[in-house]
Amino acid sequence: MLAAAAAAVSGCGATAHAPVVSSARAPARTGAPTDSAATDALKATWRSYAGAFIQGGRVVDPRSNNDTTSEGQSYAMLRAAWMSDRSTFDSVWQWTRDHLWDPGAHRFGWHWGATAGSLLSHDSASDADEDIALALLFAAHRWSDSSYTDWARRVLDGIWQNDVASLNGTPYLVAGNWAGSNAAGLVLNPSYFAPYAYRVFAQADSAHPWLSLVGSSYSALNACSQAALQAPQSAGLPPNWCVLSSGGRAGSFTEKSDGDDYGYDAFRVMWRVALDLQWSGSSAARAYLTTQQFLRSQWQQHGTLSPIYGHDGSVRANYDDVTVAGGDIGAFITDPAATGAVAAHLMSSLTTAGSSAYWAQSDNYYAQNWVWFGIALANGTLVNMATQ
């Protein structure tokens, strides 16, 4: 429920995602889509996505040689759970378990090659690991099947073995199994932090201090957002990548040329923080979103948002991409009118042709997921099923 949901709260492992480019700036939009229109669109685009992008349980990315990532598998599992689509959920989960899970290392390899027919990387991507675990816990509650819970706990244990590293006695979610031993410090991808999920994990897994990750994630997120990095000053936006030094100082991850930018990784921060606010009423989430004046001022001035900003707020890409707006909408979630306007912008990218429904360009895997997630966030579709 768009208005109700907004009012209620008043790499490794990273692939290159091609933008959805519009040469013209979109005009400002003032009307939110109706609840029923958004709900119908979410259902229709999920059905089309499952038919076009999921092949025998494997999520393909047509713009990346039809390869598969743990990210793509995790997105499909979450969406299938929220859509009560057990058959799709089970097929995606079986393929993920059979082809990406490394039992010796207790982790999912992040990249599977269609040409090779095998894993191209056995390294983990921590966002996918936690999203898979959350989806499994959702499935256990949705379909009253403890086998999902058993596997979720195995995945959760693997996250602590591979994706968590300590700095000065504090555990942090790092970008993957490789990211805790970098000479510069802990390598972080702020868009991987999922405090809403850690609260769920704490209820399912008493063997690990999940709530400590809530605090460290917000601490690191604030540090990475406020640090100047390599810019003259910060606009308060989270970077795509960040490093925490041994002294706890946030710095640039220079191995990524776009690491300081707010771009095709970092936009997901807003969605994840907003979901934590919706589910838990977190004061830390509210405080962080309150700092995001830059995005709100950009929307007010231009009626759209650049998909890539420099850390100082400079525009790095002068086109409109609804993919990024699907995450950006989280920054507006405490303002019902603005949330409705951004949601209407997302809905304007919907195309229906016969039985097919898709967002923006039909072959864009990233857009199909993130426009869906953005509208679902605004519409109140993303309920915490672990509490039901």
CATH architecture of 2-382: Alpha/alpha barrel (1.50)
pLDDT (0 to 100) of residue 17: 60
Residue 34 has what pLDDT? 67
pLDDT digits (tens, 9 = 90+) for 53-70: 999 999 999 999 999 999
Q: Which residue has the tokens 């969406």?
A: 79
Widest Cα–Cα separation across the chain: 58
Per-residue pLDDT tens for 132-174? Answer: 999 999 999 999 999 999 999 999 999 999 999 999 999 999 9
Tokens, residue 105: 């290392």
pTM: 0.93
Q: How far apart are CA 330 and CA 150, in angstroms?
A: 32
The tens digit of pLDDT for each residue in 325-344 reads 999 999 999 999 999 999 99
Angle at 278 between CA 275 and CA 284, to 5 degrees: 80
Average pLDDT over residues 275-300: 97
**Reduced 3-state DSSP string for 253-307:** CCCCCCCCCECCCCCHHHHHHHHHHHHHCCHHHHHHHHCCHHHHHHHHHHCCCCC
